[in-house]
C-alpha cells in the first residue's frame, strides 16, 4: 500500500504526514509539486502548510501545480485523497470539494488542541472511527472558516458529506461547525484540524488522529 | 501602454472579518463616518497598446479562473485611463 505525500513549496507538515502514514501501516511516497507522475501510489495526502506562501488565496496557486492535474484526474476516477488544512484549501480551489476556506472569524491564527466529532465514518479516510466518536487533535490555521452558499450547505448536510464537526464553541466561524467534508463518492476528504500531529501520545495531545491513516488501509484492503 | 484593473470583492453574504476589524478601528481613531467596511483586492495589469476586445475577454477568463474564487468572490474588469 503506497500513499503519496505531496510537498509544495511552503508545505510544512509533509514529514509528519509521512510519519503518520508509516505508523498507520503503509509506505509513504514523497511526491513533489512539479512531478509529472504519481509513482504508482494508491492514495494521496495533501498536507498542511503555506503552499506558495498562501499568495493570492490559500491553495489558489497550488491548484495549478503539475502534480495536481494528475491528482484531480485520479481523484475523479476514485483514488482516495485526503487534504489536511492547506491541503483542504487546495482541494476546494481544485473544485474536488465544494465551498471555500476563509479567514478565521476573529482574525487570529489559532493553534490549540480541538475536540471534533466524527459525523460520517463511511468515507475512505474515516472508517476506523465510530459514528459520533469524539477525538482531540491539533487545530492550527489562520484561514479555517468553511464557507459555502445555502444550497451547497443543504446538499452537504443532506448527503451526509459533513465528515467531522467542531465540538463546543465555533473556533473559526465555519458554517454548521464544519471541520471536514467529503466528495459525493467519499474518496476525497478535506479536514481542517491535523490528525497527523496526533498519532502518538509522546508528540501530540492524543493518538486519536491515527484513525485517518488506518482507515485508508481498510478501504484499500476491503 | 494601458492598465487593466481587476477588482475582487468577497460576495456580500460572505463574512469579511478584515473589513469588520477596519470598521471597528476607524471610530477608535475618531473617524465616525463608516457604517460598514468591506475589504477587497485590486490587480493592476499592464499591457502594450490599447486593449482589444479579445484581450479583455482573456483577462475576464483569468479573473474567473485564477484572480478570484467564484465560490466566495465577485470581480470587475475595467481599463484605467
Contact pairs from chain A to chain B, CB under 8 Å: 36
pLDDT tens, residue by residue, A72-115: 999 999 999 999 999 999 999 999 999 999 999 999 999 999 99
Minimum Cα–Cα distance from B21: chain A residue: A107
Q: Which pairs from B57-64 meet CB under 8 Å and 24+ separation?
A: B59/B4, B59/B6, B62/B6, B63/B6, B63/B8
Mean pLDDT throughout A180-189?
97
Say whether residue A57 is in contact with chain B using an 8 A CB cutoff: yes
* Start-to-end Cα distance in chain B: 10
Percent of chain A scoring above 90 in pLDDT: 96
Mean pLDDT of chain A: 96
Say whether residue B54 is in contact with chain A using an 8 A CB cutoff: no
**pLDDT tier at A184 (50, 70, 90 boundaries)?**
very high
Closest alpha carbon to B40 in B14, B62, B65, B4: B14
Active-site residue, selected from the candidate residues A93, A115, A143, A196: A196
Closest alpha carbon to A172 in A85, A61, A48: A85
ipTM for this prediction = 0.84
Mean pLDDT throughout A43-67?
95
Extended beta strands in A8-109, E state: 27-32, 43-46, 81-84, 100-102
pLDDT tens, residue by residue, B41-75: 999 999 999 999 999 999 999 999 999 999 999 99
Q: Do B66 and A93 touch (CB under 8 A)?
A: no
Percent of chain A scoring above 70 in pLDDT: 100
- Which one of A90, A100, A153 would you mutate to disrupt binding with B, by most B Cβ within 10 Å of its Cβ? A100
CATH 3.40.50.880 for the A2-221 domain, yes or no? yes
pLDDT tens, residue by residue, A8-25: 999 999 999 999 999 999
The dihedral built from the CA positions of residue A149, A154, A159 and A160, taken in this order, carries a sign that is positive
What is the structure's pLDDT at A191? 98
Say whether residue A106 is in contact with chain B using an 8 A CB cutoff: yes
Cell (9 digits) for B1: 501602454
Active-site residue, selected from the candidate residues A58, A85, A92, A148: A85
What is the structure's pLDDT at A91? 98
Mean pLDDT throughout A153-166?
98
Say whether residue B72 is in contact with chain A using an 8 A CB cutoff: yes
What is the structure's pLDDT at A13? 97
What is the structure's pLDDT at A6? 98
Q: Do A147 and B14 touch (CB under 8 A)?
A: yes
Say whether residue B18 is in contact with chain A using an 8 A CB cutoff: yes
What is the structure's pLDDT at A203? 87
Minimum Cα–Cα distance from B43: chain A residue: A56
**pLDDT tier at B2 (50, 70, 90 boundaries)?**
very high
pLDDT tens, residue by residue, A190-203: 999 999 999 998 98
pLDDT tens, residue by residue, B10-38: 999 898 999 999 999 999 999 999 999 99
Q: Delineate the domains of chain B, giving CATH numbers in brackets.
A: 2-80 (3.30.1280.10)
What is the structure's pLDDT at B81? 75
Cell (9 digits) for A99: 465551498
Amino acid at each position: 500500500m503506497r500513499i503519496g505525500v505531496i510537498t509544495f513549496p511552503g508545505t510544512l507538515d509533509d514529514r509528519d504526514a509521512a510519519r503518520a502514514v508509516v505508523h498507520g501501516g503503509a509506505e509513504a511516497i514523497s511526491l513533489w509539486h512539479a512531478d509529472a507522475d504519481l509513482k504508482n501510489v494508491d492514495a494521496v495526502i495533501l498536507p498542511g502548510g503555506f503552499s506558495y506562501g498562501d499568495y493570492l488565496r490559500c491553495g489558489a496557486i497550488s491548484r495549478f501545480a503539475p502534480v495536481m492535474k494528475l491528482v484531480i484526474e485520479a481523484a475523479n476516477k476514485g483514488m482516495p485523497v485526503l487534504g489536511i488544512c492547506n491541503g483542504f484549501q487546495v482541494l476546494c480551489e481544485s473544485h474536488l470539494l465544494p465551498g471555500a476556506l476563509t479567514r478565521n472569524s476573529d482574525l487570529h491564527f489559532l493553534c490549540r488542541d480541538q475536540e471534533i466529532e466524527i459525523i460520517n465514518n463511511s468515507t475512505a479516510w474515516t472508517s476506523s472511527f465510530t459514528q459520533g466518536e469524539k477525538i482531540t487533535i491539533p487545530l492550527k490555521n489562520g484561514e479555517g472558516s468553511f464557507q459555502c452558499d445555502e444550497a451547497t450547505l443543504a446538499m452537504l448536510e443532506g448527503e451526509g458529506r459533513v465528515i467531522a464537526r467542531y465540538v463546543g464553541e465555533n473556533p473559526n466561524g465555519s458554517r454548521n461547525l464544519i471541520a471536514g467534508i467529503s466528495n459525493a463518492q467519499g474518496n476525497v476528504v478535506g479536514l481542517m484540524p491535523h490528525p497527523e500531529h496526533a498519532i502518538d501520545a509522546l508528540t501530540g495531545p492524543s493518538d486519536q488522529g491515527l484513525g485517518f491513516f488506518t482507515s485508508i488501509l481498510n478501504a484499500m484492503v476491503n | 501602454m494601458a492598465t487593466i484593473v481587476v477588482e475582487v470583492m468577497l460576495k456580500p453574504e460572505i463574512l469579511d472579518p478584515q473589513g469588520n476589524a477596519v470598521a471597528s478601528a476607524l471610530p477608535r481613531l475618531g473617524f465616525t463616518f463608516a457604517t460598514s467596511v468591506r475589504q477587497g483586492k485590486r490587480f493592476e495589469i499592464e499591457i502594450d497598446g490599447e486593449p482589444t476586445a479579445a484581450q479583455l475577454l482573456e483577462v475576464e477568463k483569468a479573473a474567473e479562473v485564477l484572480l478570484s474564487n467564484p465560490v466566495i468572490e465577485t470581480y470587475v474588469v475595467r481599463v484605467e485611463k
